[in-house]
Amino acid sequence: FTAINGDTYGWAGAAGDISTVTNVSTTSFATAGDKIFLSSDHSETTASTTNWTNSIGGSWTTLTTYILSVTRGGSVPPVGTDLISGASITFNTMYIDSNKPLYIRGVTLIAATGGVGFGNVNSMVAYLKDCSIQLAGSSGAYRISTGAGVSSKVVFDNTTVSFANSGQAITSGASGGYLDLTWINTPSAVGGTQPSILFSESGPIYVVMRGVDISTVTGTLLSGGGSVGCKLLLDSCSIASALTLLGGTQGSPLDCVEITNCWDGTNVRNERSQTGGKMTTERTITLTGGSADDLGAFSLKLVSGSTKIDKWVEPLSSFWFDVENTTTGSSKTATVEVVSSASLNNDDIWLQLEYMGTAGSSIAGFAGSLPATPLTSASAVTTSTAAWNSSPATPVYQHLQVTFTPQRAGRVRGRVMLGKASATVYVDPNIVIT
């Protein structure tokens, strides 16, 4: 760009690199709410650690600072039609450390010999649109992460990541660092050398992904091992059929990965993996005339682990499933069909029910088939004559039942809880109210 001396356009003058604009010693040209424009053919290399720090002046209030890649030959100052991706910044290690909202669009960030940190000293909020984050260094220790003890909220919108070593990953910082990541609308989201683990636990991570293609990742989505707990939700994403949702040795009962409506190249998958076991979609062992989606009949397969599962405080749970109820003021019975290879008691498996239980308001009521207290004797779950299209070895057909009295018409929700270790149960996710 051409340097403009004076204030014809409200600019003090063009600068040569992004660090000059955002961080000069302890001061900055930019203040909160400014728009910083990079020419789309801008290619900047800094052989050092780069900080975009809280030296961006001004208070948070509602002011967002913008870093935008625009065409060189457009309007001065640029307008919306001038936005175009292409600007790139190469550095050894980068800390995006503004304690004020930051929006970056169309910029490629390349870490040559280090990682990219969202927050180093300061917690922050950042939105990256049409960007690319690339770890180009050969070490497997490099990360896209938050800083130690720093919490940051980040959005990747059509923003890809790339790795140069299979040991590299996305993570949060140690010592209480927390990463809240929303990742949306990104085809071919993970490039370069595919990571063995995409999200690695060192601090707590909360990730929501929608419309993201990570089908090139064939290793592990989340690896536990810490005691802090991480939660991931993938909704309507593309994944590899070989992807392991949750790996490592889970030191925390909080680790949980859910995928809903995700495509693995052959099947639509709805699953949950947590410390106590996993739930998957089953297409063979299904209830005759039971639940079905666009692909056909299905059930939910619950497989509990041998440890870290407890019937009262840490059971393996299915997804919630709903039914509409219109009858009020009288006792009703909710029934869910299950099948397994051994008879189960009502403290091994039970139905938890949520219903409209308060007259005149939407406050929910709860009921369940679990014994009333840990001191209440367990009993066998009622046997069932329902027919299944296929069955496990030595099948035992049972149904879970809960009696309840709805006070308002509306949604009734249920989920099945499995508290027995090393058990496999097939659940028809359909509530029949009689």
Is 30's pLDDT higher than 80? Answer: no
Instruction: Give just the sign of the alpha carbon dihedral 267, 271, 277, 283.
Output: negative
A 10 A CB-CB count for 425 gives 27
- Within its chain, how far is the Cα of 263 from the centroid? 16
Q: Which of 42-56, 124-138, 182-196, 371-385 has the lowest mean pLDDT?
A: 42-56
Residue given tokens 């800083």 in the structure block: 147
Provide, rounded to the nearest whole percent, the portion of the chain with pLDDT above 70.
Answer: 89
pLDDT of residue 7: 41
Q: Are strands 43-52 and 169-171 parallel, antiparallel or unpaired?
A: unpaired
- Rounded to an integer, what distance in angstroms lies between the CA atom of residue 432 and that of residue 434? 7
Distance CA 338, CA 367 (A): 19
pLDDT given for residue 10 in this prediction: 38
Phi, psi of 150, deg, nearest 5: -115, 135
Which residue, 278, 179, 166, 155, is CA-closest to 228? 179
Can you give the pLDDT at residue 50?
73
Q: pLDDT band at 24, cuts 50/70/90?
A: very low
Model pLDDT, residue 6:
40
Beta bridge pairs of residue 161: 133, 190
Residue ranges of alpha helices (H) inside 186-344 are none
> Averaged over 88-92, what is the pLDDT?
93
DSSP string, 308-341: S-BTTTB-EE---EEEEE---SS-EEEEEEEEES
Q: For residue 241, how far is the Cα from the chain centroid? A: 18
Q: How far is CA 399 from the centre of its chain?
A: 33
pLDDT at 253 over 70: yes
Judged by DSSP in three states, 215 sits in: coil
Q: Are 271 and 232 in contact (CB under 8 A)?
A: no
Mean pLDDT along residues 31-55? 81
> What pairs with residue 390 in β-bridges?
none
* Cα–Cα distances in angstroms (integers) from residue 227 to residues 19, 151, 202, 220, in the given order: 37, 17, 9, 18
Query: Exposed, middle or buried: residue 133 (CB in 10 Å: 0-12, 13-18, 19+)?
Result: buried
Q: Which of the 8 DSSP states describes residue 388?
A: B
Please, are residues 335 and 399 in contact by the beta-carbon 8 Å criterion? Answer: yes
Three-class DSSP category at 18: helix
pLDDT at 201: 85
Separation between Cα atoms, residue 431 and residue 322, nearest integer Å:
7
Reported as a single tens digit per residue, the pLDDT across 154-173 is: 999 999 999 999 999 999 88
Q: How many CB atoms lie within 10 A of CB 129?
A: 18
Whether 214 contacts 163, CB under 8 Å:
no
Query: What is the model's pLDDT at position 1?
Result: 46
3-state SS assignment for residue 69: strand
Q: What pLDDT does residue 119 have?
A: 82
* pLDDT given at position 327: 93
Q: What is the mean pLDDT of residues 82-87?
A: 97
CA distance 95 to 98: 9
**DSSP SS3 for 206:** strand
Strand partners, 103: 66, 127
pLDDT above 60 for 44: yes
222 three-class SS = strand
Q: How many residues does the chain have?
A: 434
- Let me know: does 55 contact 75? Beta carbons within 8 Å: no
SS3 111: strand
Among 127, 116, 237, which residue's Cα sits nearest to residue 180?
A: 127
> pLDDT digit string (tens) for 311-357?
899 899 999 999 999 999 999 999 999 999 999 999 999 999 999 99
Q: Could you tell me if 418 and 277 are in contact, meaning their C-beta atoms sit under 8 angstroms apart?
A: yes
Q: Which amino acid is at 262?
A: C
The pLDDT of residue 13: 52
Q: What backbone phi and psi angles, to 5 degrees, belong to 22?
A: -95, -20
